[in-house]
Amino acid sequence: MPDLLIELFSEEIPARMQTRAANDLKKLVTDGMVEAGLTYASAAAFSTPRRLTLTIDGTLDASPTTVEERKGPKADVPEKAIEGFLRGAGLTRDDLEERETPKGSILFAKITKPGRPAADIVAEVLENAIRNFPWPKSMRWGTGSMKWVRPLHSILAILVAEDGATVVPMDVDGITSSDTTEGHRFMAPGRFSVTSFDDYSTKLKRAHVVLDATERRDAIWNDATNQAFALGLEVFEDNGLLAEVAGLVEWPVVLMGQIDEDFLGLPPEVLQTSMREHQKFFSVRNPKTQRIERFITVANRETADNGATILAGNQKVLSARLADAKFFWENDLRVAKSDMNVWLQSLENVTFHNKLGTQAELVNRMAALARELAPAVGADPDMAERAARLAKADLSSEMVYEFPELQGLMGRFYVEASGEDAAIAAASEEHYAPLGPSDDVPTAPISVAVSLAEKIDKLCGFWAIEEYPTGSKDPFALRRANLGLIRLVLNENTGVSLSSIFRKSIHGHLNDLLVRQVETELNATENSFPASLIASLHNDEIDTFKELAAAKEDVYDAELQMAGIKAKAMTRHLLAFTHDRLKVYLKDQGIRHDIINACIAMDGNDDINLLVKRATALNEALQTDDGKNLIQGFKRANNILSQAESADGVEYSYGADVKFAETGEERALFAALDMTEPTITSAMAAQDFTTAMSAMASLRSPIDAFFEAMQINAENDTVRRNRLNLLSRIRTLCSSVADLTKIEG
Amino acid sequence: MSTSTPRSFQEIILRLQAYWASKGCAILQPYDMEVGAGTFHPATTLRSLGSNPWAAAYVQPSRRPTDGRYGENPNRLQHYYQYQVLIKPSPPDLQELYLGSLQAIGVDMDLHDIRFVEDDWESPTLGAWGLGWEVWCDGMEVSQFTYFQQVGGHDCTPVSGELTYGLERLAMYILECDHVMDMPFNDPDAPIPLKYGDIFKQTEEEYARWNFDVANTDVLLRHFEEAEAECEVILSQAFDDPKTGKRIIMAHPAYDQCIKASHIFNLLDARGVISVTERQAYIGRVRALSKQCADAFVQTRAGGFVEAAE
């Protein structure tokens, strides 16, 4: 049972792609081998910056020989027919065997497919894998046409049997396979040959290469935490950074350096961001003071001076970086403390979106919305407005220009430094949340008001300019904003009618668009007809001029009215979009889409809290036996009624009378309806959906008994109509709770 | 080759010139126009197109008006030097050749930590992209290393390997200077020793003031339009020159106009008169020019065009 060792050796593979690539190599090769009949016992894949390695244990020398039997014609058919069969199957007469069967004597052919040597199969599968490798981005180099993530230099491919290793011969675009590889680029240059995976990994380690990324990662983390621990410090955990750094080195050497005293006053987030983003350094913090005092860098080699030169270099680069950050921080603080209006004014020069105006205009809209929404979320309107006005101020700061990922957080620092209330400052940071589905929703009232304002304005703005998300395209992250809005509203648990808020905001946006358009047109008119020339017009020309101007006014008026209708239509469209998001959200909470649809079809569906309460109650009711069967009863009643109504051309809604009831079941249903009607009505008025739904579910047995015993189409027309009117009562009552026709099944 | 530590900015440049000359590159001179990076030199953009082999190295003065800091920031300049190497097809040992150049300028490979860190290169104005790395020396980016995949919208076949050294930053590191203006430009023991600041401090101030506050944006806007129009006029001419009767496609004169438009765009950007949305439109216009120039160049002999035999 030979083993197989493959190594694809290239120039430096991007760190973020290595692990995935190793797994892809494993899958492509093992799948290909198995498909060709080469089974194996186990396989493992590894990666370093310069190599992808695959080791496969316990495969076969060759794929097994297979024998296939094919049934031919009867033995007594004309010779021509037999020749035809032989030609088609690519056989000779000798391959045929005559066998007696119940249907007579029949010719059978035995087709033997000989197995193929493992080396042939591996060469074919590996070449295929190399040529079709799923790199996220690949390139050509030199004069070749082959693509790889970076230039591929060598292929090691050996089959290892008890009697030694043999190279799997292959040639991919001029790269010939061998049994050799290279060690560390600087510490152990030169090629060497290997005879097995054990030999390979041992020799690699001797040549200063740790093959296993997990081993490198663990070594880095252990060494880093040990060095920090020795000084009573702790390393800031950052798994993303750890994985990346482990992908940048073959021989990790952890070095800890000091951060210059000058920079220790910077906020820890600034230090951490600057070090991580620019230098890929870990931050080391003093647990007593919570200050970041040192950094950890991971070099790719040992040196005679124990890394002193490397560390000094890194320290110097860091100091230059932090000097920039400190410069930004101090300048920004100076502005924040003296007059933050400078930043607010400069937002006038920053475009939010070319059709939706500047960041300053955005802030104005957010301020108005935040003020309006404040009472509903328990925030002080003045404070909410102030917080919204300041929420984007940090976008003008130098720090955020340099590190966009610090937006919000810097705002919080700067707004607080300017002397504002801490709750107002917090909104600068928190109004961006929630960003992802697992991100926390803000709960501080002012932050909630500003966050809602930001999301509503964004959604309504992009709806007004008809930039909806389509398919996979959502460049303005509107789905995320919408989900954020939903989660905020649900978390607040207050009734907010989204329709009127949406309509007002969209209408405002449409008017702004119109004003901008008119302004441009006016400019155009002025340009085409200078005001200074109006005096030179003849009388008849003045009349025409006035007529044309009036016609323009009319068009403008019509446009204004149109904006009103458009706002309504767009609001419905945005609400439907919100309902779709809500469906996805509730589906994750285990509520079926048809249940949500049944509730969306009801009035008040723009109040998400109400909608979710209704859906939750309906969902619970439908879990019960009564609930499930009630749906069937309701549907039956509804179908019969609808058919009768369309056949008779009338609507049966006069109110049934118990005096025409003929049987006990019929009277029982009357009684049940009389009893549940007031319960449901008052529960619905109190938005107590659970009570309403369980009362509704209690109708199940009288309805079932009614259908069991009765024929609706009685011969007596009065009795028939009375029964249809009775069904109508069921329909009306149930439909006041949810649109049960939408329930599937 | 000497691996002692160089003593001045110019010594580093001279050593790079000598090194790449010894590796067979044609040592070209800077292009005589304002450009934002060494890549804009036609010896890189145009010559990376077509099938003809190429190997060139040169210093390119580069201008980035928005980076001006009146000569006060230790690491930022609006005018600086790049060292550029372009070899087509990219040789298999380009990484080793590059590392050799670091050794040549005094980087001791046994003491320093050199790393190739993923960096995809893209130039929206040139319609170009490539894959490669930024090269780190002890955590500092000292070069860009790129395998060109596409230039001016054309696939690069064969692929060129491009190396770009930011000379000031690299030299500051080797010469252990904390402020660019303090860096010795010529030999510190020369009869008249000159520091970088002696040569460039004043010009940094002058250009920063002009770039940020004085440059006449109306004139610049007009120049942009003119360069764009001229480029298109040049390229609309028939391939065959009526006077000489020869096939003369004016790819280079047209490309000069493209460079000009690109630089004027940078100046306008520094003056802050281009909004975020307009920005994209301007970049698109320059890209359209560079694509047309690339289209024209591949029709020339230098661009690999072979006239059909009679």
Q: Are A257 and A248 in contact (CB under 8 A)?
A: no
Domain boundary at A587, A616, A643, which? Answer: A587
For the segment A370-395, the average pLDDT, to the nearest whole number, is 95
- Helix/strand/coil percent split, chain B, to 5: 40, 20, 40
Report the gap between the CA of B141 and the closest CA in chain A (Å): 9
> Does residue A634 lie in a domain region?
yes
**Model confidence pLDDT, tens digit, residues B122-144:** 999 999 999 999 999 999 999 99
Q: Are residues A573 and A490 in the same domain?
A: yes
Q: Are residues A465 and A437 in the same domain?
A: yes
Mutate to test the interface with A, among B111, B113, B133 (most CBs of A within 10 A): B113
Residues of chain A in Cβ contact (below 8 Å) with chain B: 11-12, 14-16, 49, 137, 139-143, 149-151, 153, 186, 248-249, 279, 281, 297, 299-301, 303-305, 309-310, 312-314, 316-318, 320, 323, 349-351, 354
Q: Are residues A253 and A360 in the same domain?
A: no
B116 and A15 in contact by Cβ < 8 A?
no
Range of the domain at A11: 3-62+117-206
Q: Are residues A626 and A557 in the same domain?
A: no
Q: Helices marked H in A403-477 — which ranges?
A: 409-417, 422-430, 445-464
For the segment B28-37, the average pLDDT, to the nearest whole number, is 96
For the segment A508-520, the average pLDDT, to the nearest whole number, is 85
Long-range Cβ contacts of A473-478 (<8 Å, 24+ apart): A476/A353
Q: Phi and psi (nearest 5°) for A287?
A: -65, -25
The count of structural domains within chain A is 5
Partners of residue A3 on adjacent β-strands: A160
Q: Are A703 and A671 in contact (CB under 8 A)?
A: no
Q: Are residues A360 and A331 in the same domain?
A: no
**Model confidence pLDDT, tens digit, residues A522-536:** 666 655 666 777 788
CB < 8 Å to A141, chain B? 89-90, 147, 159, 161
Percentage of chain A lying above the pLDDT 70 cut: 99
Q: Phi and psi (nearest 5°) for B217?
A: -70, -30
A-B Cβ pairs (cutoff 8 Å, strict): 102
For the segment B282-294, the average pLDDT, to the nearest whole number, is 95
**Model confidence pLDDT, tens digit, residues A249-294:** 999 999 999 999 989 989 999 999 999 988 999 999 999 988 999 9
Q: Flag whether pLDDT at B310 surpasses 60.
A: no
pLDDT for B1 equals 42
B275 and A300 in contact by Cβ < 8 A?
no
The pair of structure tokens assigned to A300 is 């790719």
Report the gap between the CA of A156 and the closest CA in chain B (Å): 18
pLDDT for B217 equals 87
Q: Are residues A372 and A424 in the same domain?
A: yes
**Rounded Cα distance, A454 and A363, in Å:** 9
Q: Are B33 and B261 in contact (CB under 8 A)?
A: no
Q: Are A585 and A486 in contact (CB under 8 A)?
A: yes
Domain boundary at A338, A358, A378, which? Answer: A338
CB < 8 Å to A139, chain B? 130-131, 147, 149, 159
**Model confidence pLDDT, tens digit, residues B54-89:** 999 999 999 998 888 899 888 889 999 999 999 999
**Model confidence pLDDT, tens digit, residues A594-646:** 999 999 999 889 999 999 999 999 998 888 888 888 888 899 889 988 998 88
For the segment A433-454, the average pLDDT, to the nearest whole number, is 92
Q: Are residues A186 and A84 in the same domain?
A: no
Q: Which residues of A136-157 are buried (b: 16+ CB within 10 A; e: fewer)?
A: eeebbbbebebbbbbbbbbbbb
> Does residue A595 lie in a domain region?
no
Helix (H, G, I), strand (E, B) or coil at B69: coil
The pair of structure tokens assigned to B245 is 């009767």
Distances (CA, A) of B187 to A706, B102, B175: 109, 20, 12
> Does residue A597 lie in a domain region?
no
> Does residue A598 lie in a domain region?
no
**Rounded Cα distance, A272 and A284, in Å:** 9
Question: What pTM does this model have?
Answer: 0.77
Q: What's the distance, Cα to Cα, between the start and end of chain A in Å?
A: 56
Q: Which of A143, A150, A349 sits opposite B89 (nearest CB)?
A: A143
Q: Are residues A508 and A374 in the same domain?
A: yes
Helix (H, G, I), strand (E, B) or coil at A273: helix
Q: Which of A151, A281, A310 sits opposite B113 (nearest CB)?
A: A310
CB < 8 Å to B147, chain A? 139-141, 150-151
pLDDT for A528 equals 62
Residues of chain B in Cβ contact (below 8 Å) with chain A: 74-75, 89-92, 95, 108-118, 120, 130-133, 137-140, 147, 149, 156-159, 161, 173, 272, 275-277
From the list B51, B69, B96, the residue with the least C-alpha distance to B204 is B69
pLDDT for A68 equals 81
Report the gap between the CA of A72 and the closest CA in chain B (Å): 55
DSSP string, A335-360: HHHH-THHHHHHGGGSEEETTTEEHH
Q: Are residues A384 and A486 in the same domain?
A: yes
**Rounded Cα distance, A607 and A486, in Å:** 10
> Does residue A561 lie in a domain region?
yes
**Is residue A494 very low, low, confident or very high in pLDDT (cuts 50, 70, 90)?**
confident
Q: Which of B113, B132, B161 sits opposite A301 (nearest CB)?
A: B113
pLDDT for B2 equals 44
Q: Are A390 and A396 in contact (CB under 8 A)?
A: no
For the segment A132-153, the average pLDDT, to the nearest whole number, is 96
Q: Phi and psi (nearest 5°) for B215?
A: -45, 130
Q: Are A568 and A503 in contact (CB under 8 A)?
A: yes
What CATH number does residue A643 fall under? 1.10.730.10
Mean of all residue pLDDT scores within chain A: 91
> Does residue A440 lie in a domain region?
yes
Task: Evaluate the CA torsion angle A260, A261, A266, A269 in order and state its sign.
Answer: positive
A317 and B109 in contact by Cβ < 8 A?
no
Q: Are A368 and A449 in contact (CB under 8 A)?
A: no
Q: Which of A153, A313, A351 sits opposite B277 (nearest CB)?
A: A351
Mutate to test the interface with A, among B94, B138, B146, B159 (most CBs of A within 10 A): B138
> Does residue A592 lie in a domain region?
no
Q: Are residues A301 and A382 in the same domain?
A: no
**Is residue A312 very low, low, confident or very high in pLDDT (cuts 50, 70, 90)?**
very high
pLDDT for B277 equals 59
A142 and B110 in contact by Cβ < 8 A?
no
Most confident residue range from A334-338, A374-378, B12-16: B12-16
Longest dimension (CA), chain B: 64
Q: Are residues A58 and A70 in the same domain?
A: no
**Rounded Cα distance, A250 and A307, in Å:** 16
Q: Which residues of A33-48 are buried (b: 16+ CB within 10 A; e: fewer)?
A: beebbbebeebebbbb
Angle (nearest 5°) at CA B284 between B281 and B285: 90
For the segment B216-235, the average pLDDT, to the nearest whole number, is 94
Q: Flag whether pLDDT at A335 surpasses 60.
A: yes
B89 and A313 in contact by Cβ < 8 A?
no
**Model confidence pLDDT, tens digit, residues A542-575:** 888 888 878 877 888 888 888 999 999 999 999 9
**Model confidence pLDDT, tens digit, residues A703-732:** 989 888 878 888 888 888 888 888 899 998
Domain boundary at A151, A178, A206, which? Answer: A206
Q: Are residues A239 and A128 in the same domain?
A: no
pLDDT for B76 equals 86
**If you measure CA to CA, which chain B residue comes closest to A247?**
B117
ipTM: 0.93
**Residue located via tokens 């979009």:** A577
A140 and B147 in contact by Cβ < 8 A?
yes
Percentage of chain A lying above the pLDDT 90 cut: 59
DSSP string, A201-213: HHHHHHTT----H
**Rounded Cα distance, B269 and B266, in Å:** 5
A313 and B149 in contact by Cβ < 8 A?
no
Mean of all residue pLDDT scores within chain B: 93
**Rounded Cα distance, A717 and A709, in Å:** 18
The pair of structure tokens assigned to A349 is 């020069």
B118 and A305 in contact by Cβ < 8 A?
no
**Rounded Cα distance, A130 and A143, in Å:** 18
pLDDT for B100 equals 97
> Does residue A593 lie in a domain region?
no
**If you measure CA to CA, which chain B residue comes closest to A16?**
B118
For the segment A653-674, the average pLDDT, to the nearest whole number, is 87
B117 and A248 in contact by Cβ < 8 A?
yes
Q: Are A299 and A256 in contact (CB under 8 A)?
A: no
Mode of pairing for the β-strands spanning B140-151 and A51-57: unpaired
Q: Phi and psi (nearest 5°) for A156?
A: -105, 125
**Rounded Cα distance, A724 and A640, in Å:** 8
